[in-house]
Structure 1
Amino acid sequence: MDGSVARSVQPGNTLYRLRDEGDLIELSRGVFRKADAPAPTRPDLLAVSVRAPLAVVCCVSAAEVHDLTDEIPGEIQIAVPRGQRPPRIDYPPTEAFRFSAPTFHLGLAAVEAAPGENVRIYDAERTVVDLMRLRGRLGEPLALSALRRYLQRRGARPGQVIAFARELGVLGRVRAAVDAVIAE
């Protein structure tokens, strides 16, 4: 454990003794970090990614990372491929979504959660489309606000948003929303 996050590999008593002595910080059950390691900028995302390495940060959690919302999710939202069992993580609180396996890789990116330690996350374009796809569950105002913020930023790629919408089967809804926001 040279500064990075590690899963529990030593006997439990040793890890908890090191934690109690202040040498380790416990990020989540079985996930420890050296106390003198550089502070993680996103410790909750880091803990979840260690516990669920194949999962991808998505939806409101991804929107917050990409500065597409001011909302701070009460749970870390992650996606797993449909057919795969979602992880059960109590802390930090986590909500799992099951996304289609054939399109699971679309828009896959990474964000640095601690110096030199990356977490899998969907890029801003995929995040906007996912929020539009799940607007009945997550809220239409959130989805439209994220789309508006995305389209107003320098370097926005509305063509990529439309391409992801086509791949994910929500082209009509997303195209109408993009047209409406651009017309404002």
Structure 2
Amino acid sequence: MFRRADAPAAAYPDLLAVSLRAPRAVVCLLSAAAVHDLTDEIPMAVQIAVPRGTWPPKLDHPPVEVFVWDPATFELGLDSVEVAPGERVRIYSPGRTAVDLMRMRNKLGESVAHIALRRYLARRDARVADLFAYAKALDVLGPVRAAVDVLAAS
């Protein structure tokens, strides 16, 4: 991708490059957690979600990991973040990201999911009701509720 030479520097150039090539995709999981300060992990690839039934984007650079998700819940918790002045990228909200990490905890790691959930609950804008609504819609209410109970007790 090319940008004007005088364009302001992007805070997240890889996210910007991916979103320009795959405008329907949504930044998710560890990539979203890094943007929302829910993790200290550095993703090895930009993680994006696309709805099932669409063609996943094929990108050479930057490295991309594509997740194919249910179209019925694809737009749930959709947000955007400014990655460069005047340029926004579709990304899942902090609450949706924490729930998605719990949903993918067997693949991405239980500790990553719990840290993200703990950091989300420590935020001023944390909304437990939204967290439970996302968890219910994504069919992980039991594990999320149990993790929130443990974190609240400690």
TM-score (norm 2): 0.98
- Larger-gyration structure (1/2): 1
How far does the alpha carbon of each residue in 1:61-109 deviate from its partner, in whole angstroms, 9 at most, with x for none?
0000000001110100000001112111120000000110000000000
Q: Which residue of structure 2 aligns with residue 37 of structure 1?
A: 7
SS of 1:35's equivalent in the other structure is: coil
- Structure 1 distance, partners of 2:114, 2:60, is 30
- SS for the counterpart of 2:72 is helix
Alignment coverage as a number of residue pairs: 154
Gaps spanning 5+ residues in structure 1: where? Answer: 1-30
* Pair 1:55-2:25 in alignment: yes
Q: For 2:11, give the aligned amino acid.
A: T
What letter is aligned with 2:71?
A
Q: Which amino acid aligns with 1:115?
A: P
Q: How far 1:183 sits from its partner (Å)? A: 0.8
Helix, strand or coil: the match of 1:46?
Answer: helix
* Structure 1 Cα separation of the partners of residues 66 and 85 of structure 2: 26
- Superposed CA RMSD in Å reads 0.6
* Code of the aligned partner of 1:120: R
**Which of 115, 122, 128 matches 2:85?**
115
Instruction: Give every structure 1 segment of 4 or more consecutive aligned residues whose post-TM-superposition deviation is greater than 2 Å.
Output: none
Which residue in the other structure is 1:17 paired with? Answer: none
What percent identity do the matched residue pairs reach? 63
CA distance in 2, matches of 1:62, 1:183: 27
**Structure 2 counterpart SS, 1:88:** coil
Q: CA deviation at 1:155?
A: 2.1
Greater RCO between the two (CA within 8 Å, min separation 6)? 2
Q: Map residues 100-139 of structure 1 onto 2, 5 A cutoff.
A: 100-139=70-109
Aligned residue for 1:14? none
Matches within 5 A, 1:1-184: 31-184=1-154
Q: Can you give the 5+ residue segments of structure 2 that lack an aligned partner in the other structure? A: none
